[in-house]
Amino acid sequence: MGPDTLGVLGTGTMGAGIVQLAAQSGYRVTACDASVEALERAQVYVREGLYRFAEKGAFTEDEADSHYERIRWTTNPQELGDAPAVVEAIAEKVEPKKEALAALDALLPPDSLIFTNTSSISITDLASATGRPEKVCGMHFFTPPPLREAVEVPRGLLTSDETLERAKALVRSFGKLPIVVEKDVPGFVANRFLMPMILEACRLLEEGVASKEDIDLLVKKGLGFPVGPFELGDLIGLDVGLDVISYIHRELDEPYYAPPRILQELVRAGRLGRKTGAGFYDY
């Protein structure tokens, strides 16, 4: 693998988008997921995504094909072993992420960087699972990664200035704007705005104040947001949203962040949003 190579661990909602973005930015990508089904879904997502960009004239169909061909798909994490940088995008759970980062640390050359797409979890804590905390940094993409213009870059307590600069350079090489978060706080900046919006929407719905359709409509047509809170929850994945809210709740010890019952029930029922065909809405 050359310096133009990027590893992506986890090819779910976010990982698939990051793989597409990296490939269309000219990187060779090693895309690794523990699940064959997740890899297959990501392959379809990336192929369709690249063709959509081609249709819009971003590049030709032949270029879309060659972007796709630069991706190597695998269930074997060993294949990430010579990547100069890996973006971790597995589930939003502390212990599995720490285990994955420790495994990457054991696998990667000493100067390789580890970026994590966590939406809320302490970078410092995740980095502590590795022997290279100065080379670990947050790289929080928004959904869908090929379309959103900015990437939040939260640094851990021990993230070096050099790693931060390399993180920003990588984000810029994707054509995106890196926005640094200097303090490693639960939820960083983005989810300290977003999650309260989803929380309030759930509470208003639970109290019967308005229907979900009307809440979404009001937020879009009245407040001018591009998407309503329930639509956004379904896009993010309600399991991911619940994990983020639960983590912030635990870490800040603020009753305000107690996960709404409706969110917990939908997740228990397997209604996780667009990715399962149903969440707050049916798809």
Alpha carbon distance 221, 100 (integer Å): 42
Q: Which of residues 202-231 bind ligand NAD (CB under 6 A)?
A: none
- The answer to the question of residue 153 lying near ligand NAD (CB under 6 A) is no
Nearer to ligand NAD among residue 54 and residue 90 (C-beta): 90
Which range of residues in 27-35, 196-204, 211-219, 252-260 is near ligand NAD by CB under 6 A?
Answer: 27-35
- The answer to the question of residue 163 lying near ligand NAD (CB under 6 A) is no
Question: How many residues interact with ligand NAD (rule CB under 6 A)?
Answer: 28
Smallest gap from Cβ 23 to ligand NAD, in A, equals 17
DSSP 8-state class, residue 228: -
Alpha carbon distance 267, 241 (integer Å): 10
Q: Which of 90, 104, 201, 238 binds ligand NAD (CB under 6 A)?
A: 90
Q: Which of 117, 130, 159, 163 binds ligand NAD (CB under 6 A)?
A: 117
Alpha carbon distance 250, 54 (integer Å): 44
Q: Is 211 a catalytic residue?
A: no
Q: Is 140 a catalytic residue?
A: yes
Nearer to ligand NAD among residue 271 and residue 275 (C-beta): 275
Distances in Å between the Cα of 32 and the Cα atoms of 19, 130, 170, 174, 177 are 10, 19, 19, 20, 26
Contact indicator for 276, 236 with CB cutoff of 8 Å: no
Q: Which of 7, 10, 138, 233 binds ligand NAD (CB under 6 A)?
A: 10
Q: Which of 14, 87, 164, 195 binds ligand NAD (CB under 6 A)?
A: 14
In the chain, DSSP assigns E strands to 5-9, 28-32, 71-74, 85-88, 113-116, 136-138, 150-154, 177-181
Alpha helices in 108-160 (DSSP H): 123-127
Alpha carbon distance 34, 205 (integer Å): 37
Q: Which of 15, 138, 228, 229 binds ligand NAD (CB under 6 A)?
A: 15
Catalytic hit among 88, 92, 152, 231: 152
Smallest gap from Cβ 180 to ligand NAD, in A, equals 17
Which pair of tokens denotes residue 264? 């917990």
Which contacts (CB < 8 Å, 24+ apart) does range 131-137 have?
131/105, 132/105, 133/158, 133/159, 134/158, 134/159, 134/160, 134/163, 135/111, 135/160, 135/163, 136/101, 136/163, 137/113, 137/163, 137/164, 137/167
- The answer to the question of residue 33 lying near ligand NAD (CB under 6 A) is yes
Smallest gap from Cβ 98 to ligand NAD, in A, equals 11
Q: Which of 38, 171, 195, 267 binds ligand NAD (CB under 6 A)?
A: 38
Q: Which of 6, 64, 83, 89 binds ligand NAD (CB under 6 A)?
A: 89
Q: Which residues are catalytic?
A: 119, 140, 152, 191
Binding footprint of ligand NAD on the chain (CB under 6 A) = 9-15, 33-35, 38, 89-92, 96, 100, 117-119, 140-143, 236-237, 240, 275
